[in-house]
Amino acid sequence: MKTFNVALVGVTGAVGKEMLSILEERNFPVEKLIPLASARSRGKTVVFRDKKIPIQVLGEAHFSGIDIVLMSAGAGVSREYAPQAAEAGCLVIDNSSAFRLEEDIPLVVPEINPQAVYRDRVRNIIANPNCTTIISVLPLKPLHDHAQVTRVIAASYQAVSGAGAQAMRDLENQVCNYVEKKEPITQNSSHPFAFNLIPRIDKVLDNLYTREEMKLVWETRKILGDDSIRVTATCVRVPVFRSHSVAMTVETQHPVSRDTALKLFKGFPGLTVEDDPLNDIYPMPLYASGQDSCFVGRIREDISAPNSIHMWVVGDQLRKGAALNAVQIAELVAAEAQ
């Protein structure tokens, strides 16, 4: 079996740590691992396959001799270093928003459009979609193939871990302060996370949608390969540590019954159906956390409009919404090289 020298940029972040773990869990054919991070991590190590590996400082290390670069840093870092790595001959799989909407960069969810990995690698960069998009688009794909999705109305309920490690600490501290009847401390947001819902994630744009909401609009169309799909979204931060949830109303060209939707979802890779509301069985973020699958339930036909169906989908945004999806892309590349 061919093996690969793999660099992991942002190895100390939440997604980077998850990528490291998933590479080992899935026994990805790594010949040599090169962990990269900022100068703050100088002198630190990571453990991979029971070996301590020193972290190298991004900007001081070079990309020669590396086959695959997994990037889990921010968009600014990706814009600077992804082209450098690609020019050095590496295949870059980038988790940031830097390249997702560029026409000559494939935006890939392996269960949906794996062909894009092989067809569109002219710049040696593949983009990982936004975490909410990945979770939302998985159940949309089988519906689109069967009945042509025409419109999606989505409301996301996004965990604080999507805002970073400090946001998770803020939520924990705010809950403790509430129990102790102290004022909540807010360091990572304009408003407290605990016992609250914040209907704004990312920058507010001129159309009064946020960038997070527009990512769902733009990326859904690109992944499904259909710019005619109308998408609207409201993204909300909720006091949950991990895993995003999305309520979706999906309008289709042709009618889709609940029974048909259940069959479509049960047969689609990456999806697990949890749909027995009378017995309190439905997807929940507490139980989706740490799981590779996305979970879909509360499936019902719309009583207010024809050709419309409702669903509730939940997924771990650090795993399938980010790290796992990137490693799955790398697995497609590795399989091609065998």
Residue positions annotated with a catalytic role: 131, 244
**Amino acid occupying residue 114:** P
Cα separation of 79 and 63, whole Å? 15
Backbone angles phi, psi at 25, to 5 degrees: -60, -40
Identify whether the C-beta of residue 273 lies closer than 8 Å to the C-beta of residue 266.
yes
Cα separation of 20 and 96, whole Å? 17
Cα separation of 107 and 113, whole Å? 8
E strand segments, the chain: 4-9, 30-37, 45-48, 51-54, 56-57, 68-71, 91-94, 125-127, 149-158, 230-237, 244-252, 271-273, 294-301, 308-315
Token pair 């909410």: residue = 132
Helix, strand, coil % in the chain, rounded to nearest 5:
35, 25, 40
Cα separation of 271 and 162, whole Å? 21
Instruction: Please name which of 247, 338, 332 lies closest in space to residue 298, comparing C-alpha atoms.
Output: 247
DSSP secondary structure letter of residue 11: T
DSSP secondary structure letter of residue 235: E
Three-state secondary structure call for residue 14: helix
171 Cβ contact list (under 8 Å, min separation 6): 160, 193, 194, 239, 241
Cα separation of 336 and 313, whole Å? 31
